Amino acid sequence: MSLLRGKVVVITGASSGIGETAARLLASQGAHLIIGARRVERLEALASDIRAEGGTVAVQQLDVTDLEQMQEFLKAAQSRFGRVDAVINNAGVMPLSPLEALKIEEWNRMIDVNIRGVLHGIAAGLPIMKEQGFGHFINIASIGAYEVSPTAAVYCATKYAVRAISEGLRLETAGQGIRVTLVSPGVTESELAESITDNEAREVMKEYRRIALPATAIARAIMYALEQPDNVDVSEMVIKPVI
């Protein structure tokens, strides 16, 4: 029997890419899911597919930049399934550009979704996990959490922040039954690059995308962390394409 059977897993940003693929994989292993994103029609289509395969899933519209919506999302998981085993803070945006282009609205959007969104997931999930005495945060960072590349200064800054926050959370929750996993993908097939408005950055990404990993590679890493026994903390995973 799958080790994930009956685990209650909350996924942000499940309407495409890594989040969607993780939802399909985890549901196929018997996890009970609640999936969130802004494009609720995409979530409903995904949920129909999952249910048709015999999976268990609830859908909720979610903007991770709104703390109240995140709290409602976690409360919905708790009241529907009775507990929360894991929160996958996956939602993210990546409108890359050189700093000198001064795309300040795009910087702010990355900060809001990639950093505040993860903090909101923690703010909503941590009280529930502390009360339960168990729980697992899986925060999706990037190889950009380890090194900076041109046009990606702000994006990388947000992912460095996710790495720092994850490590701080691990240290501060020691002894409370709460685990923290940082998953850092290299370039992966998804819709992430579609928000790039800067021509130079878009061209660079096209080159990278030739070697992109399938999103299943990241979904399997997430599944690996979730399948471990309670006394095993998978702290960090970096998954890169072979070049």
Q: Which stretch binds ligand NDP (CB under 6 A): 26-34, 46-54, 90-98, 171-179?
A: 90-98
Is 60 a binding residue for ligand NDP by CB under 6 A? The answer is: no
Rounded least distance, CB 189 to ligand NDP, Å: 7
Which of 88, 178 has the CB closer to ligand NDP?
Answer: 88
State the binding string over 160-199 for ligand NDP (x if CB under 6 A, else -). -------------------------x-xx-xxx-------
Which residue in 11, 37, 87, 180 binds ligand NDP (CB under 6 A)? 37
Please state the separation of Cα 171 from the chain's center in Å: 20
125 binds ligand NDP (CB under 6 A): no
4, 8, 11, 17: which one contacts ligand NDP (CB under 6 A)? Answer: 17
Residue from 13, 95, 121, 135 touching ligand NDP (CB under 6 A): that is: 13
Instruction: Tell me which residue of 35, 21, 26 sits closest to 6, measured CA to CA.
Output: 26
Residue 160 a catalytic site member: no
Residue ranges in 206-235 that form contacts with ligand NDP under rule CB under 6 A: none
88 forms part of the interface with ligand NDP (CB under 6 A): no
Task: In whole angstroms, give the CA distance from residue 57 to residue 80.
Answer: 10
Applying CB under 6 A, does 113 fall inside the site for ligand NDP? yes
Catalytic residue among 155, 160, 208, 224: 155
For ligand NDP, the binding residues (CB under 6 A) are 12-19, 37-39, 62-65, 90-94, 113, 140, 142, 185, 187-188, 190-192
